C-alpha cells in the first residue's frame, strides 16, 4: 500500500485516484495552494466538480485547512499531525511573502483571546506579511 493510500485510510477515506492526485499535489509543496494552483497540477482530464468535492472532503476530514489571503481569496494547506476528522487545530500564524506571493503556515501559535460574554469564536486567522526566507536570500 502506498503512502498516499495509507494517509487517506487514516482519515477513513477511500484511496481513489482523484484523491491521491490531489493529496500528492499538496505533498509536493510546502506552502498554501489556491484552487487554480491545484487545477494547474491536475491532469487535463480531471473533473472540476470532483476537485471541489475532494477539497471539501479533505477540509471536513481534517487533511487540509483554509488559509485566507489578503486579496480576499482562499488557499488551502495541509493540516499538521494534530488535526483529524473530529477536531481541527489551526490556531497558528500564516505568513505571506510580498515578493513571491507564497503563503506558509508557521509553527507560531495564536494565543487564546478572551472575548466578551456571548461571543463565540468559530475560526481564528492571523496573516503576517513581509519577505520570506527564500526571497530574502536572493
Q: Residues 46, 21: contact at Cβ < 8 Å?
A: yes
pLDDT in tens, 21-72: 999 999 999 999 999 999 999 988 888 898 999 999 999 998 999 888 877 7
Residue 43's pLDDT is what? 87
Predicted local distance difference test score (pLDDT) of residue 80: 72
Whole-model pTM: value is 0.83
Q: C-alpha distances in angstroms, 39 versus 78, 95, 131? A: 16, 23, 26
**How far apart are alpha carbons 134 and 102 in whole angstroms?**
10
Eight-class DSSP state of 111: P
Q: Helix/strand/coil (H, E, C) string of 22-78?
A: HHHHHHHCCCCEEHHHHHHHCCCCCCHHHHHHHHHHHHHHCCEEEEECCCCCEEEEE
Report the alpha-carbon distance of residue 9 to residue 3 in Å, rounded. 10
**pLDDT score, position 89:** 64
Q: Find residue 127's DSSP bridge partners.
A: 94
Q: How do the domains of the chain map onto residue ranges?
A: 3-137
CATH topology of domain 3-137: Arc Repressor Mutant, subunit A (1.10.10)
Residue range 99-110, pLDDT digits in tens: 999 999 888 888
Summarize pLDDT for 5-16 with one digit per residue, the tens.
998 998 899 999
Kindly give the pairing relationship between strand 127-130 and strand 64-68: unpaired
92-97 sheet: strands from edge to edge: 103-109, 92-97, 127-130
What average pLDDT score do residues 76-102 get?
79
Amino acid at each position: 500500500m502506498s503512502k498516499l493510500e495509507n494517509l487517506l485510510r487514516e482519515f477513513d477515506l477511500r484511496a481513489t485516484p482523484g484523491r491521491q492526485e490531489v493529496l500528492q499535489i499538496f505533498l509536493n509543496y510546502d506552502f498554501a495552494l489556491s484552487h487554480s494552483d491545484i487545477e494547474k497540477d491536475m491532469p487535463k482530464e480531471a473533473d472540476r466538480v470532483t476537485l471541489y468535492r475532494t477539497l471539501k472532503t479533505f477540509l471536513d476530514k481534517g487533511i487540509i485547512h483554509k488559509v485566507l489571503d489578503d486579496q480576499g481569496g482562499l488557499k488551502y494547506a495541509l493540516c499538521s499531525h494534530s488535526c483529524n476528522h473530529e477536531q481541527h487545530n489551526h490556531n497558528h500564524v500564516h505568513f505571506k511573502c510580498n515578493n513571491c506571493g507564497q503563503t506558509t503556515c508557521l509553527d507560531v501559535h495564536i494565543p487564546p483571546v478572551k472575548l466578551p460574554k456571548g461571543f463565540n469564536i468559530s475560526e481564528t486567522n492571523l496573516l503576517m506579511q513581509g519577505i520570506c526566507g527564500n526571497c530574502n536570500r536572493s
